[in-house]
Amino acid sequence: MSSRPRRTPPPRRRGRRPTRPEGWQWLLVGPGLLTVGVAAALLVAWLVDSHAQTAGEAAAAAAQGPLHPASSGQVPVGTSVSAYSVTYRITEPDAPVQTERKLLERPFYGSDITYNNKGQITSGAVTGPTGAYLFLTSPKPHWGLLETGTYRATGDDHVGAGLALAAQHHLARVLGTRQLLGRTCTVVRTGGPVGSTVTAPTGSDYTDICVDDATGQALDEVWLIKGKLARERVATAFNANPTVTDGSFRVDSNGPAVPLGTSGSTDVIALGPTDIPKIPVFMTAPAGYQFTAAQDQVTLEQAPGASQPSQSSIIFAHFVSGPNLIDLEEGALSSPPSGAISVTLANGRTAKLTIDLVSSYLDIQVDNQPIRLEGPNLDALMKAAVLVKAQPSSS
């Protein structure tokens, strides 16, 4: 694993898109069920980690400052605020300090931009009223249109929600609390940084994340690999009520990031009222949510050695409740990762849960059609999953 991952990926699509640049990174606790073998393996790892003390662990503790006992021992989920802004200082061994600035207006608008120590943009992604944009450095630095349409806000982490769920499955544990920027945050240990698949920590490979008790956002993140500090990302400013203007999520673009008609390009088609009944699988809006829009994302993909590119399609349907978003996805979806956890829904159907510190998701099968529900609140996802049904008029 590289110790210097790209901190600001473009919007992620959890589908079979090997030619696409990666992006879209993702609780109330639900009835997740571990298999006996997995549970035993996790228990062994947990016992080893709980008694481990390395030089790297001491370094991480020193970087984070003094800890105080956590009164509840629970990971704070926090309140889902409508908007927030945060600035991080990023330090990595043998590398200049970088600055990451985020501005979010949930559920769709986000700006996540990283600057070098000279104030120049090194990476960035923006989702706004006109689509999703990616900052490119070649042939010269510029913003490129990745896709038109509406998307989950880029850079919008739900760390508290993901870690609360991870703790229930022995993939994270609370270490204590501390003060940062005049705010109380709870330090939680897990296996990897925000943006990676959630795994259990070990004595030498782990990440300590200080979660803001009020909002569930990450205020500090110290990542160790083989007992050595790989990266610290610490908040230097945080605002749960930022000023957002009409221009906050608009960028000047000089063209598409991937030109239409080339391998990896995506044509986004908005689906209207007459199109919805033709979608093979759909769902009734969960209580408190409203269906707002659906779009078909058709991507050209050319496999190595193939003479012609082929098309793959993923349909995204958005269901919104204030700042909260559930996405229903169907089409050319990727398979659930190997670490996905089996859970049982209220209607007896089995689903696979993938825990993510940005936005977790459930994979289910409806009439042999793979379906994915994405959102940070597992309770909401579990309730929504039983409302997903095949549409008789879709043929």
Tokens of 91: 């330090």
Question: What residues does each domain of the chain span?
Answer: 54-239, 259-394
Question: What CA–CA distance (Å, rounded) separates 88 from 159?
Answer: 15
Architecture of the structural domain at 54-239: Clam (2.50)
Strands 341-344 and 350-354: antiparallel
What is the DSSP code string of 343-366?
Answer: EE-TTS-EEEEE--SS--EEEEEE
Which neighbouring-strand residues pair with 301?
A: 310
Contact 162, 356 (CB under 8 A): yes
pLDDT, tens digit only, all 395 positions of the chain: 333 333 333 454 454 332 223 332 322 223 233 333 333 333 333 333 433 334 444 444 444 567 777 777 899 999 999 999 999 999 999 999 999 999 999 999 999 999 999 999 999 999 999 999 999 998 899 999 999 999 999 999 999 999 999 999 999 999 999 999 999 999 999 999 999 889 999 999 999 999 999 999 999 999 999 999 999 999 999 999 999 998 999 999 988 999 888 888 999 999 999 999 999 999 999 999 999 999 999 999 888 888 888 999 999 999 999 999 999 999 999 999 988 999 999 999 999 999 999 999 999 999 999 999 999 999 999 999 999 999 987 65
Rg of the chain on CA atoms, in Å: 21
Strands 142-147 and 253-256: parallel
Helix, strand, coil percent values for the chain (each to nearest 5): 10, 40, 45
Burial 57-76 (b: 16+ CB within 10 A, else e): beebbeebeeeeebeeeebb
| DSSP tag of 41 | H
